[in-house]
């Protein structure tokens, strides 16, 4: 593109921003080993606790700056960091090092940070692996106070309309900068599943991450164009380019107003086919926004938050209270609860079968495999789900299934749980629909068999693409190879949808692909009838589907299937997209 220097990263929050760059300079802490004298221990412990308290006060100040009416899940990101400050791994383990090893507070905290990050690095689940960022963010905040180097906040007006350039941003940074009216941000590191990226999407801040050339290509005060859709950043653009992107901004604002008018209208194609638009959520606090946007239900309710940042597994009652609240707030709208999707690399201290982390967690003990091997983690969750299902329509979804024996074992466990609850006189729902996620190639190839054993299937494209192409989508060194349109991926998706059609088994999709405007017409043409996505994508997906003609797309798919069978990418996809919406 002409009109200036250009660099490309990963677009994690859609939208266009035009503004002058503000380079955020952060002090880099060089922590070296330092010991203290025995008579300094109590003073050092007091200094560490004071830093913890100061960090907590700063985060609470940021919470107070969140405007009224902002989605509750925005505050949840700061709440997560506040909880981490109270957790023993960060608040007490360094104190033990100070007491017993006479380490200085900074060194003890650094060693504990390294140990925690190693645990997260060994996790297979990409979303959970990025939680190491939260550890770094909280540790760096404590280190600032330990070294008396807390940075002064910028004046409110000084950042208004600016595009932030930084190595990385914390969720707290993101909220503060949004409060100060920034136009967007660019970071050298990070990925699409980090809390900062998720928060940027929630707050509607255009953002590009993983732009390694940012330090070399972009300068402080330089006029920038940030395209969060494509991940492109342009510096020193000419007037024609600025005008073109300026029009895209005004068109985008008008589009958002138009999309709001779709709330309450059905997701029906031009030829009258009724579709289901569901939401993926992680926290109960997401439900209010999901209902306000008119979702048909919750297609994926992640439950890992109940297990994170704690030493012991959640008890049955804790599970039940979380699910009860979700079902009651949905008031009759269906919810699909995904069971525990953690790996053996995320161990709980009370786990009696604690083992060393697998050398290759991607192929190790995780998700449904972990639940079958350690039923003490799984049974309380199953009991709580069956109890909550009395209050409204609930489905159970099993992650990472690979063979029928796993499904049959789970069904036997559910039957035993039903007998136990009945014997105990506890109210529960019988016959709760049981489904499985199709997220590894073996499951897609065995989809016809799974359809005979399960009530529904849901395609998890994030992992399906990753496992099929042997690509770590969180690793920005190879993330450019992550391609949902790879013929092998499309064949697996088509096989799963076709298996569901032939057996009259509902098939949904709950991966990122389901909410991506580039792929929605293709998926509709392939026969997908239930799309589950991040809440903020619901209205745009509905608009696209309402402009599609499913009959025309089905005809066009015949040509695409031939290309896929030959191992070729579906080049006609753009023509389908533009000619039918």
- Ligand-binding annotation for 473, yes or no, is yes
> Is 315:383 a contact under the CB 8 Å cutoff?
no
Nearest CA-CA partner of 284 in 315, 330, 336: 330
DSSP 280: E
Q: What string of H, E and C letters represents the secondary structure of 340-395? A: CCCECCCCCCCCCCCCCCCCCHHHCCEHHHHHHHCHHHHHHHHHHHHHHHHHCCEE
- Ligand-binding annotation for 274, yes or no, is no
Nearest CA-CA partner of 184 in 231, 144, 150: 231
Q: Which residues contact 114 (CB under 8 A, 6 or more apart)?
A: none
Distance of CA 269 to the CA centre of its chain: 29
| Numbers of helices and strands, H then E, in the chain | 24, 16
Q: Is 577 a residue of the active site?
A: no
> Cα–Cα distance between 145 and 52 in angstroms, integer?
8
Q: Is 451 a residue of the active site?
A: no
Q: Which residues contact 53 (CB under 8 A, 6 or more apart)?
A: none
Nearest CA-CA partner of 91 in 54, 154, 49: 49
- Ligand-binding annotation for 129, yes or no, is no
Q: Where are the alpha helices (DSSP H) in 38-87?
A: 41-64, 72-86
Half-sphere exposure of 535 (CA within 13 A, CB side): 26
Q: What three-state secondary structure class fits 146? A: helix
Query: Kind of pairing, strands 335-338 and 163-166?
Result: unpaired
Q: What three-state secondary structure class fits 522? A: helix
> Cα–Cα distance between 543 and 559 in angstroms, integer?
25
φ and ψ at residue 564, rounded to 5 degrees? -60, -45
Angle between helix axes 239-260 and 538-547 (nearest 10 degrees) is: 90
Distance, first Cα to last Cα, the chain:
27
Cα angle 559, 568, 579 (rounded to 5 degrees) comes to: 45
Q: Which of 81, 137, 195, 577 is catalytic?
A: 195
Query: Kind of pairing, strands 394-398 and 530-533?
Result: unpaired
Quote the strand ranges of 193-271, DSSP E: 207-209, 223-227, 232-235
The CA–CA distances, whole Å, from 9 to 37, 107, 206 equal: 48, 34, 13
- Ligand-binding annotation for 463, yes or no, is yes
**Number of neighbouring beta carbons within 10 Å of residue 149:** 11
- Ligand-binding annotation for 403, yes or no, is no
Q: Which of 81, 510, 548, 577 is catalytic?
A: 510
- Ligand-binding annotation for 133, yes or no, is no
> Any idea which residues carry the catalytic annotation?
195, 510
Q: Which residues are annotated as a binding site for phosphoenolpyruvate?
A: 302, 338, 462-463, 473
Q: Which residues are annotated as a binding site?
A: 302, 338, 439, 462-463, 473
């Amino acid at each position: 593109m002409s009109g200036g220097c250009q660099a490309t990263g990963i677009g994690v929050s859609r939208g266009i921003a035009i503004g002058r760059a503000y380079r955020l300079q952060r002090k880099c802490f060089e922590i070296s080993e330092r010991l203290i004298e025995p008579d300094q221990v109590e003073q050092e412990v007091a200094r560490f606790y004071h830093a913890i308290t100061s960090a907590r006060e700063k985060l609470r100040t940021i919470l107070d700056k969140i405007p009224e009416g902002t989605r509750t899940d925005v505050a949840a990101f700061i709440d997560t960091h506040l909880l981490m400050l109270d957790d023993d791994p960060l608040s007490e383990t360094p104190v033990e090092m100070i007491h017993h090893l006479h380490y200085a507070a900074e060194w003890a905290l650094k060693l504990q940070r390294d140990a925690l990050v190693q645990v997260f690095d060994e996790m297979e689940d990409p979303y959970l692996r990025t939680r190491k960022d939260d550890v770094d963010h909280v540790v760096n905040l404590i280190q600032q106070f330990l070294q008396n180097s807390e940075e002064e906040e910028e004046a409110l007006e000084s950042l208004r309309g600016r595009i932030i350039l930084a190595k990385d941003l914390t969720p707290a940074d993101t909220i503060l900068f949004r409060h100060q009216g920034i136009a967007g941000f660019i970071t050298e590191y990070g990925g699409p599943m980090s809390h900062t990226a998720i928060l940027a999407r929630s707050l509607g801040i255009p953002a590009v991450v993983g732009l390694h050339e940012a330090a070399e290509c972009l300068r402080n005060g330089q006029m920038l164009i940030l395209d969060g859709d494509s991940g492109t950043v342009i510096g020193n653009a000419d007037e024609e380019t600025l005008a073109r992107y300026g029009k895209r901004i005004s068109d985008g604002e008008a589009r958002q107003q138009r999309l709001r008018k779709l709330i309450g209208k059905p997701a029906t194609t031009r030829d009258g086919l009724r579709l289901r638009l569901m939401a993926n959520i992680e926290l109960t606090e997401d439900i209010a926004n999901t209902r306000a946007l008119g979702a048909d239900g919750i297609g994926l309710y992640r439950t890992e938050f109940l297990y994170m940042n704690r030493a012991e597994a959640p008890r049955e009652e804790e599970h039940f209270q979380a699910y009860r609240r979700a079902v009651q707030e949905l008031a009759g709208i269906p919810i699909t609860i995904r069971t525990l999707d953690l790996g053996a690399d995320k161990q709980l201290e009370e786990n009696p079968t604690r083992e060393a982390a697998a050398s290759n967690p991607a192929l190790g003990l995780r998700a449904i495999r972990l639940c079958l091997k350690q039923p003490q983690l799984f049974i309380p969750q199953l009991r709580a789900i069956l109890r909550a299902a009395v209050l409204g329509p609930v489905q159970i979804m099993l992650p990472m299934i690979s063979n029928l024996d796993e499904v049959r074992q789970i069904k036997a466990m559910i039957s035993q749980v039903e007998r136990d609850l009945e014997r105990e006189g506890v109210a529960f729902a019988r016959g709760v629909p049981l489904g499985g996620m199709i997220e590894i190639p073996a499951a897609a190839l065995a989809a016809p068999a799974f359809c005979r054993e399960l009530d529904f299937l849901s395609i998890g494209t994030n992992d399906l693409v990753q496992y099929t192409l042997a690509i770590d989508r969180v690793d920005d060194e190879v993330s450019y190879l992550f391609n949902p349109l790879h013929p092998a991926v499309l064949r697996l998706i088509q096989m799963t949808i076709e298996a569901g059609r032939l057996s009259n088994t509902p098939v949904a999709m709950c991966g990122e692909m389901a909410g991506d405007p580039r792929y929605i017409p293709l998926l509709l043409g392939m026969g997908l009838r239930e799309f589950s996505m991040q809440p903020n994508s619901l209205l745009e997906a509905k608009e696209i589907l309402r402009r599609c003609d499913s009959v025309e797309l089905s005809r066009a798919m015949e040509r695409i299937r031939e290309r896929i069978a030959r191992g070729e990418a579906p080049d006609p996809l753009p023509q389908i997209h533009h000619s039918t919406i």
